[in-house]
Structure 1
């Protein structure tokens, strides 16, 4: 049986690729020895992606739509049936994926609002409603935020002619 003998001192490499052709083996991608053009290209790519995200309005934690104002107002006492329900949010909503409905104090859903009177303002939802009977009414809304989340809410008002 043959024995292997090493002539001289055995040295382990200080880096994974520490031979004469190390750059060819590793492709020159890592470490301080990476070619300047490749480092510049990676830095440029990172900067371009960051700029695109900023210009697109992306934020790490985009806020959901919050109801800022409503008409009729929450807990309002009205003497006449409101002609419409208007909801204003803090950011854009997808109107065709959003809805408003009116529910009386017995839980009966009134006729659905007949249409949207205002498609101009991206943060508002305006629905024409049928004449309402006296009593407590709950406005229930569901909107699809442009951040991709469905947000729901409700409030009440009283109709006492």
Structure 2
């Protein structure tokens, strides 16, 4: 069962993994010379990339966390109401400075209707305004609030009164 190689004078066992100079190129054989410096550089680059990505994502999350986001409204965005609402309620994801916030309701021509914002009504994350009688048609709500982090945030949505 021993096979003698003619060119090297080595004895090889059939079906076995052989070590030595020729084993490097064989499937399942030994690896070539190690390059620890290249591996270390690649590992450092990968870690540096992961660290940079993590820091960027933390910075983005941290900067957006304090901003007020509109969670819900009454009337709801794109709602069709049978009758005009008596009040408008906007609920945000965190506290707002009510006295420095404002809301307007515009008709289809862009004419603003007078609203009375009640700073004492509702919790600290809600803006409540008394709405005058509205005619049937499309209405646009424009809002602007001051977040407790000092940033001004604004938005808009529409609703419809009548058929």
Classify the TM-score, shorter chain. 0.5 to 0.7
**TM-score (ref. length: structure 2):** 0.59
Aligned to 2:83: 80
Structure of larger gyration radius: 2
Query: Does residue 1:158 correspond to 2:129, yes or no?
Result: no
**Superposed CA offset, 1:102-127 (max 9, x none):** 001111111x2124175340000010
Query: What is the rounded CA distance, in whole Å, between the counterparts of 1:93 and 1:149 in structure 2?
Result: 10
Structure with more of its chain in helix, by fraction: 2
Structure 1 runs of 4+ off > 6 angstroms? none
**TM-score (ref. length: structure 1):** 0.59
- Secondary structure of 1:96's counterpart equals helix
Alignment size in residue pairs = 102
- Secondary structure of 1:148's counterpart equals coil
Q: Residues 71 and 86 of structure 1 are in contact (CA less than 8 Å); yes or no, is this contact kept in structure 2?
A: yes
Query: What is the rounded CA distance, in whole Å, between the counterparts of 2:96 and 2:141 in structure 1?
Result: 18
Q: Which of 143, 147, 150 is 1:148 aligned to?
A: 150
Cα-Cα RMSD: 1.7
Distance 1:132 1:120, change over 3 A: closer
Q: Residues 82 and 162 of structure 2 are in contact (CA less than 8 Å); yes or no, is this contact kept in structure 1?
A: yes
Query: What is the rounded CA distance, in whole Å, between the counterparts of 2:150 and 2:130 in structure 1?
Result: 26
Query: What is the rounded CA distance, in whole Å, between the counterparts of 2:70 and 2:133 in structure 1?
Result: 24
**Superposed CA offset, 1:35-66 (max 9, x none):** xxxxxxxxxxxxxxxxxxxxxxxx95343100
Q: Which of 100, 103, 107 is 2:106 aligned to?
A: 103
Distance 1:158 1:129, change over 3 A: same
Which runs of no fewer than 5 residues in structure 1 stay unpaired?
A: 1-58
